Structure formats: structure tokens, C-alpha cells
């Protein structure tokens, strides 16, 4: 059966109007085949397809005003439909464009270190309570508190003028030191060491021996010796060279002993203070 619809106006009727009119006319028919009208002059319209139980099936590509009619059979990936794009670009654009990827806060595969790509984490990892508290710290100051490294409390703040043992420097001011009290010597041998200070003092309360220091390295030690009423003779031992004034046993007399140790040996010089 062929049905011509002369009352369909292409310039004003939509495709939906055409379908609705066909369904209205074919209501109650089991199957109707609509074919193209032989007159294809401007102003005529024809549709080829089938209608089953009032459902229209168009078997040729349908257009409206020259535009493709989209449906479940011809949209989707690669269709060219703008809905298949994001801002006019296919998905591949966003995974290969470095600027776009980095703007999103991500990295291109070429920017990821090879060691990170091959990093294998253990099946399970337990973070200690301390480790968790450190990771949870919001700022560096909080982390220093957790680590007990608070500047000014636990550690000294950086100071460009701090002297370092292995860095040469030019001192522009002097310094003072506290003399170490070595007590009262009444007998035996006293061997001074710079480990407890380079300035020392003690009381001569009996005969004893003052021995040369043995700690490795080069250094100087200054000792002030003061006699009390029980002062005894002082014997110097182990020095390569000893000179200066003689010791006395007179009460309240005092002496300064200058000791120098170098690679060549140990010397002492005694100076009476009265």
C-alpha cells in the first residue's frame, strides 16, 4: 500500500508532526508500508519505513532542515554529536595535553619518576602512634613540638656567629671561663685533664705529685695552687721540661702552673704569686 501525504508542509512541519499524523491515520492497521512519492518536487514530503502496532520505524536516515535526527542507533562515541564532546574536545585531548593535565593538579606519565612507578608497598603497613601524631601535625612548628625540637627550648636557634670546631673564624671579642675546683690534695698523684676545663684550682693540703696530662691532643691548662696550713711538698712528674719558681709550703702562698701539651711533648712553668 502506498499513501501520499500532500498536506505535509516540509518548511513548517516537524518530523514529530509527520509521525503523529501517520500514527493517527494508521490507527488500527496491523502493518502499513509508506514509500516515497514519485513526485519529488519542492513542497512534497515522503517517508520510507514500517509501522507496526502504531509504532513508526524509519528505515532510512532522517533529517530535519538538513540536520541529522539523533537516536539510540547513531549517537555515542565517534558520532560527531556535540554531546559526545567536552568543551568541543574528545576525551583523548584531556589525557594527552600537558597543560590541561597539570592545570587539574595531575602529572603526565612522563613526569612521574621511574622509581615511583615501580614502588611496591607492603601488603600491610602499621603506623605507630608517634608516627601518626607526626603525620597529623598541621605545621612545621607542631612537628617540632612533637619531635621535641622546639627552637629556643630544646635546640638553639641558628646564629651566624656560632663557632664551629671544624670551621676557621676570626674572633673580634674575648671570652671568660669558669675555673674548675679540683678540691684539696693531701696525698697521691693528681693528673689534670682539659676534659673538665682548661682553668683549674685546688688547695695544697699535703705532700702530693702533680703529673703531666695524658689526654691526646694539643692544649694548655692553667692551675692555681694555694697552700693551707697543712701544705706539703709538690713533686712534678712526667713533664719533658719544667721551669719557673719553686713551690713553698708556707700557708696562703699561691702559685700558677702553666701546662702546655703539643706533639713534641709536655712542658710546665710555675709562677709564684707572692
Per-residue pLDDT tens over the stretch 53-71:
555 566 666 777 777 777 7
Name 223's Cβ contacts closer than 8 Å, sequence gap at least 6: 182, 192, 200, 201, 202, 210, 256, 257, 259
CA 52 – CA 238 distance, rounded (Å): 125
Is 74 inside a domain boundary? no
Contact 236, 258 (CB under 8 A): no
Q: Give the number of domains in the chain.
A: 2
Mean pLDDT of 122-143: 88
Last residue of a domain, one of 68, 92, 108: 68
Report the chain's mean pLDDT, rounded to a whole number.
Answer: 80
Question: Strand pairing partners for 256?
Answer: 224, 271
Contact 204, 183 (CB under 8 A): no
pLDDT interval class at 21 (50, 70, 90): low
% of the chain with per-residue pLDDT over 90: 43
Strands 199-204 and 219-227, how do they pair?
Answer: parallel
Is 83 inside a domain boundary? no
Residue 167 grid coordinates:
670551621
Report DSSP letters for 184-217, one per residue: EE-SSEE---GGG-SEEEEEE-S-EEEEPP--SS
Is 238 inside a domain boundary? yes
Mean pLDDT of 157-184: 90
Angle at 48 between CA 47 and CA 51, to 5 degrees: 100
Is 169 inside a domain boundary? no
Tens of pLDDT, residue by residue over 30-50, are: 444 444 444 444 444 455 555
Q: What is this structure's pTM?
A: 0.48
Residue 254 grid coordinates:
699561691
Kindly tell me if the per-residue pLDDT of 29 is higher than 50.
no
Is 31 inside a domain boundary? yes
Q: What is the DSSP letter of 61?
A: -
What is the model's pLDDT at position 73? 74
Is 64 inside a domain boundary? yes
Range of the domain at 48: 15-68
Amino acid at each position: 500500500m502506498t499513501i501520499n501525504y500532500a498536506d505535509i508542509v516540509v518548511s513548517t512541519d516537524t518530523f514529530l508532526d509527520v509521525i503523529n499524523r501517520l500514527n493517527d491515520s494508521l490507527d488500527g492497521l496491523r502493518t502499513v508500508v509508506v514509500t516515497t512519492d514519485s513526485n519529488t518536487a519542492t513542497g512534497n514530503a515522503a517517508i520510507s519505513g514500517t509501522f507496526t502496532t502504531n509504532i513508526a520505524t524509519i528505515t532510512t536516515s532522517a533529517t530535519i532542515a538538513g540536520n541529522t535526527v539523533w537516536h539510540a542507533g547513531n549517537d555515542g562515541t565517534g558520532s560527531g554529536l556535540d554531546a559526545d564532546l567536552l568543551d568541543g574536545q574528545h576525551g583523548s585531548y584531556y589525557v594527552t595535553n600537558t597543560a590541561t593535565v597539570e592545570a587539574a593538579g595531575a602529572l603526565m606519565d612522563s613526569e612521574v619518576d621511574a622509581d615511583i612507578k615501580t614502588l611496591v608497598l607492603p601488603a600491610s603497613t602499621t603506623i605507630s602512634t608517634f608516627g601518626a601524631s607526626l603525620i597529623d601535625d598541621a605545621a612545621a612548628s607542631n612537628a617540632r613540638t612533637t619531635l621535641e625540637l622546639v627552637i629556643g627550648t630544646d635546640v638553639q636557634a641558628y646564629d651566624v656567629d656560632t663557632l664551629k670546631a671544624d670551621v676557621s673564624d676570626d674572633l673580634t671579642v674575648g671570652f671568660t671561663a669558669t675555673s674548675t675546683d679540683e678540691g684539696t690534695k693531701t696525698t697521691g698523684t693528681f693528673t689534670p685533664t682539659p676534659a673538665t676545663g682548661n682553668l683549674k684550682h685546688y688547695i695544697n693540703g699535703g705532700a702530693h705529685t702533680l703529673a703531666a696530662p695524658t689526654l691526646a691532643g694539643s692544649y694548655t691548662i692553667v692551675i692555681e695552687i694555694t697552700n693551707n696550713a697543712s701544705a706539703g711538698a709538690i713533686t712534678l712528674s712526667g713533664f719533658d721540661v719544667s721551669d719557673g719558681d719553686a713551690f713553698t709550703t708556707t700557708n696562703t702562698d699561691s702559685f700558677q702552673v702553666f701546662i702546655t701539651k703539643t706533639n713534641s711533648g709536655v712542658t710546665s712553668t710555675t709562677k709564684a704569686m707572692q
